[in-house]
Amino acid sequence: MAKRVKLLDVAKAAGVSQGTASNAFGKPDLVRPEVRERIFAAAKELGYRGPHVMARMLRTGKAGALGVVFPDNLEYAFTDPVAIELLRGIGRECAQQGVNVMIISAQNQQQAIAAVNNAAVDAFLVHCYSDNNDIIAAIQRRNQPLISIDTDIAGAAGTVALDDFAAGKNAAQHLLDCGAKRFAILSLQATDHDHFGPMNANRVGAASHRVVRERLAGYHAALAGAGIAPSDVLHVECDNQSDHSAKMTAELLASHPEIDGILGMSDVIAIGAIDAARISGRKVPDDLKVIGIDGIAAGERTDPPLTTMYQDSVEKGRLAAEMALSEAPGKTITLKTTLLLRGSSKPL
Amino acid sequence: MAKRVKLLDVAKAAGVSQGTASNAFGKPDLVRPEVRERIFAAAKELGYRGPHVMARMLRTGKAGALGVVFPDNLEYAFTDPVAIELLRGIGRECAQQGVNVMIISAQNQQQAIAAVNNAAVDAFLVHCYSDNNDIIAAIQRRNQPLISIDTDIAGAAGTVALDDFAAGKNAAQHLLDCGAKRFAILSLQATDHDHFGPMNANRVGAASHRVVRERLAGYHAALAGAGIAPSDVLHVECDNQSDHSAKMTAELLASHPEIDGILGMSDVIAIGAIDAARISGRKVPDDLKVIGIDGIAAGERTDPPLTTMYQDSVEKGRLAAEMALSEAPGKTITLKTTLLLRGSSKPL
DNA sequence: TTGAAAGCGATACCAT
DNA sequence: ATGGTATCGCTTTCAA
């Protein structure tokens, strides 16, 4: 491999200084058209490939890229529909600002830390459920703007989140409005530790995932209004995968046939519940009402289609990217959800 | 903002040379544990954040990232289910190799070229339908390994593609085996220019998209075996979106009620066809058989579920990444499809 | 094992 | 508008 042609070579060949040659590429207005052409000609002649990206980065300190990390989710980022919508919004804003998107990929926590340290980016976007995490610590050590999505991270430059309490409350209220009386909650994991199945008061109290805590609190707030105490509600933790929630739902319906309202803490979970209900012969929404949270496209294609509290995940991602890329972030944005009424529920 | 602590500061504080300090971080084995600890202590003391990524990159010439470009599809990469599966595979292999994934994002061709030139990556992965494209030219100017997915790019270091001819042929043969006699093809765009609606022989001949050419040739090869000439087959180009193909299908079925077999060139397209068929009162698969190509998950949830020629897009992405990251790429990998029989067709 | 010094390739400042 | 030059922060010879 021949030695790389560099700016100095071009400058010499064109009979100008290195600085002028640099300007010809980076700030064309600063150099007389005539000279500029001479420089370009010399560049073409020598086969100069344009300014070296890494050298430029070192000099300017700008990477031109935004790092995106899913600490809970490293290998699943491209599987979870909500994560993909976030990415779509992030990509949109980054495209708009001429910045690339760097996905931090790793197989485990330790590799993720290395990946974070190897990433040439100007800022980080983190989507996660809890903030006590070595990956997050590694990101913070880099001392670059860090915007968190969905979870407050101590010391973050900004946060974009959902009004999860309202989402939960409105979801539960809607099922009450549909006449449901006996509820089951299919919840996301409340802590980083895998734990499936029935949830007790202890685990609820210890829930380290803000999103889970808030949505739960919202559910119970609405149910309390109808005189239903937390202890009257079944509560099961699921993996955020439809297969898994379907299995949990099947068991739940078998052991507790009286259930007539299912609160799914995500659409992915709720979709599994609808599948299980249909298979077990329950009529949705007549015998059983189901509501999710998110509003993913797949919810349109269940049988019946899924009623849900819709959030604009694309916009959430876009806003987070915008914040990360802005000079002075430092706010918290809280987004709202809206009821998206489809077939899995029916108001009285 | 205080001046950044750098390696030299740490070295001085620890009373060692810069080189030794560097080794303490990058090649710990080369430095005596005792000295190493002294260096780390000094680093912690001074608040050293670890080696500067960009400086390291410039020195070593390694970026630790793989660039991914969807030239046809820039803003759209995170919408197309097949692109997402590719990304999943790419992410998996990159994680395995400790490399990050840089998504080149832009709003248009010109910005995309800039984005390519600003990306600090070690190699590029390109998914596209045609190779005569300024973005691709820009990538090639960088003189780094370039692996193309689905399309042969002249000068690429390697290519991972599908046996598209076989996919088309087997798809059409399957519908023949199901008893279909009057066919319509819902095709992907044959050229970079948007063009919807009926396709004529001219456009078929001019098709610059290899994937489209090959699948079409496959369809016609199978149909020829049943004595059906290309001119006996309706052929419409669609945007690769279910809504759009649904609209095209509705028109097609209205004007040509005799159609009993639809060859969808992608699952996204075929899904729209199923929707339109149901809405227009056609019984699938009894009155009308539909087959797609791809095997995306959404195909399981149509009514009826979509029969398709399945390809392993995740593996396709993984293989491409593996090739891009390998020392000596330089091959062409061709993947096969398999018939995935679901409800939208029924063999006699 | 450790130290000294030479780059990696470009940009930005300060003169002119 | 252009030239000269310090500098970005590190890794990697080459010697000792």
The string of pLDDT tens digits covering residues B306-341 is 999 999 999 999 999 999 999 877 789 999 999 999
pLDDT higher than 90, residue B193: no
Q: Identity (one letter) of the amino acid at A125?
A: L
Q: Identity (one letter) of the amino acid at A334?
A: T
Burial B256-292 (b: 16+ CB within 10 A, else e): eeebbbbbbbbbbbbbbbbbbbbeeebebbeebbbbb
pLDDT value, residue B1: 46
pLDDT value, residue B279: 95
Q: Does A139 touch chain B (CB under 8 A)?
A: no
Structure token pair of residue A48? 């100069």
CA A332 to CA B156: how far, in whole Å?
46
- Put simply, the chain B residues between 69 and 98 with a CB less than 8 A from any chain A CB are 74-75, 77-79, 84-85, 87-88, 91-92, 94-96, 98
pLDDT value, residue B202: 65
For chain B, percent of residues with pLDDT exceeding 70 = 98
**Comparing C-alpha atoms, which of B271, B306, B298, B4 is closest to residue B174?**
B306
Reported for A220-226, long-range contacts at CB under 8 A and 24+ positions apart, including other chains, are A220/A172, A221/A165, A221/A168, A221/A169, A221/A172, A222/A168, A222/A169, A222/A170, A222/A171, A222/A172, A222/A173, A222/A176, A223/A172, A223/A176, A223/A183, A225/A173, A225/A176, A226/A176
**Comparing C-alpha atoms, which of A274, A270, A293, A259 is closest to residue A181?**
A259
Segment B28-56 shows an average pLDDT of: 95
How long is the CA B55 to C1' C3 vector, in angstroms? 21
Average pLDDT value for chain B: 94
Residue B207 Cα distances to B80, B135, B191, B254, B266, angstroms: 22, 20, 6, 27, 17
Compute the radius of gyration of chain B from its Cα atoms.
Answer: 26
pLDDT higher than 60, residue A1: no
pLDDT tens-digit series, residues A92-126: 999 999 999 999 999 999 999 999 999 999 999 99
pLDDT higher than 80, residue B197: no
CA B13 to CA B9: how far, in whole Å?
6
Q: Does A50 touch chain B (CB under 8 A)?
A: yes
- B183-187 and B234-237 as β-strands: parallel, antiparallel, unpaired? parallel
Report the sign of the C-alpha dihedral through residues B164, B167, B173, B179, in that order. negative
pLDDT tens-digit series, residues B123-176: 999 999 888 789 999 999 999 999 999 999 998 999 999 999 999 999 999 999
The answer to whether A8 CB is within 7 Å of strand C is: yes
Average pLDDT value for chain A: 94
B74 confidence band (pLDDT: 50, 70, 90)? confident
pLDDT value, residue A301: 94
Would you say B162 and B213 are in contact if contact means Cβ atoms under 8 Å apart?
Answer: no
Would you say B273 and B304 are in contact if contact means Cβ atoms under 8 Å apart?
Answer: no
pLDDT higher than 50, residue A176: yes
CA A110 to CA A90: how far, in whole Å?
25
Reduced to 3 states, what is the DSSP secondary structure of residue A162? strand
How long is the CA A19 to C1' C15 vector, in angstroms? 13
Residue B187 Cα distances to B190, B260, B262, angstroms: 8, 17, 10
Interface size A-B, in CB pairs within 8 Å, comes to: 134
Reduced to 3 states, what is the DSSP secondary structure of residue B162? strand
DSSP code per residue over A263-317? EESSHHHHHHHHHHHHHTTPPTTTT-EEEEEE--GGGGGSSSPPEEEE--HHHHH
- Give the rounded distance of the alpha carbon of B77 from its chain centre: 8
pLDDT higher than 80, residue A194: no
Would you say B152 and B127 are in contact if contact means Cβ atoms under 8 Å apart?
Answer: no
pLDDT value, residue A58: 97
- What is the C-alpha end-to-end distance of chain A, expressed in Å? 75
pLDDT tens-digit series, residues B226-283: 999 999 999 999 999 999 999 999 999 999 999 999 999 999 999 999 999 999 999 9
Q: Does A334 touch chain B (CB under 8 A)?
A: no
Residues 2-31 of A with CB under 7 A from strand D: 15-20, 23, 30-31
